[in-house]
Structures are given as C-alpha cells and as structure tokens.
Amino acid sequence: MYQGMRFAKWGLGLFIFGVFLTFGIVAHYCVGARWPTGELFMQNITLWWACPWTLSVAAVQAGGLGMVAPGLTLMLAGRFSSRNAGAGSSAALWLCIVGLLGVFAIGYPGYFVFDAVWPAFYYAPVVTGKNVWLLAQAFFMAVYFAGILLAFNAARHALDAVAGDAELRRAA
C-alpha cells in the first residue's frame, strides 16, 4: 500500500508540475518565436504546435496521471489483500520519476542548451540538432515506459493476490 501511495503522490505532483510548465508555453505564445520560422517549419506546424516545449509538458502531464493509476490500484489491492501488495515496485517508481524529469530536463530547459549548440535547430530545422534533441527525450520516455511496465506488473500481481485471498475466504 505504501508504494501505491508513493506512486499516486508523485504522479499527482508531476501532473501539477506539468500544469505549471504550461505557463512557459503561454509565455512563448505571447512573446513569439525566437527565430524566424521557415517554410519547412510551417509544413510541420501541426506536429509542433509552434512551441518546442509542448511535447515535454504533455509527456510530464500524461505520465504523471499514468503513475496515479497503478498507485491507486496498489493502494486498493493493499486494503483487500493479506499479502504485501506492490512489494518490489520501488524500482518502477524511480524509473518513472527519472523518466519524466529527464523528458522535462531535455525538452524544456535543455531546449536552450540545444539551441546554443545548433542555433534555430527547432525552427529551421537543423536536422542533426532536432533529431538529437528528440531522441534524448525519447530515451527518457523509454525509461518511463520501463517503469510503468514494472508498475503495471506489480499492480497485476497485487490484483491476483486479492483474487487469491477472495478464493481462500470463499473456500473456508
């Protein structure tokens, strides 16, 4: 139950952090692009929606809410099972946290580092800079995905324990 609580708390906290990050996107829309947007950027506008941080903010928000589901499942299973629901999901929690904070670090403040190395990489686009930036975010999304799969497995086993306890009570 404790691991479930930690998943739910961190998930809600990261979701709220993502909501806070949305203010940066609003500020970007108010100020406008730092670099001129070219024809190729305009052809790809539906993917990017004109702000480089949209992907990382969406990943943090969705990932945070994604952590709440196994967290609440583990908490609920812990109430109805005599077994230790969610044991061993500590690695899952930290993979999820590192994954989402890594996506944020690369996608949001990291954007300015990449822009210093490859000026206008997002708007021109400079293919090498854009691909390295996106692949770095994808790496941390994969770290999160590994964590959420471990959390899913822990939640699945916790629910199996609830079902097993129910069968034992019914047989008694």
Radius of gyration of the chain (CA): 20
Q: What is the pLDDT of residues 82-109, one digit of tens each?
A: 766 555 668 999 999 999 999 999 998 9
Q: Give the containing element (helix H, strand E) for 147.
A: helix 127-171
Domain that holds residue 8: 2-171
Closest by alpha carbon to 63, among 92, 26, 31, 32?
Answer: 92
pTM: 0.81
CA pair distance 15, 21, nearest whole angstrom:
10
Q: What is the pLDDT of residues 128-152, one digit of tens each?
A: 998 999 999 999 999 999 999 999 9
| Measured CA distances, 58 to 18, 19, 54, 141 (Å) | 7, 9, 6, 12
Number of domains, the chain? 1
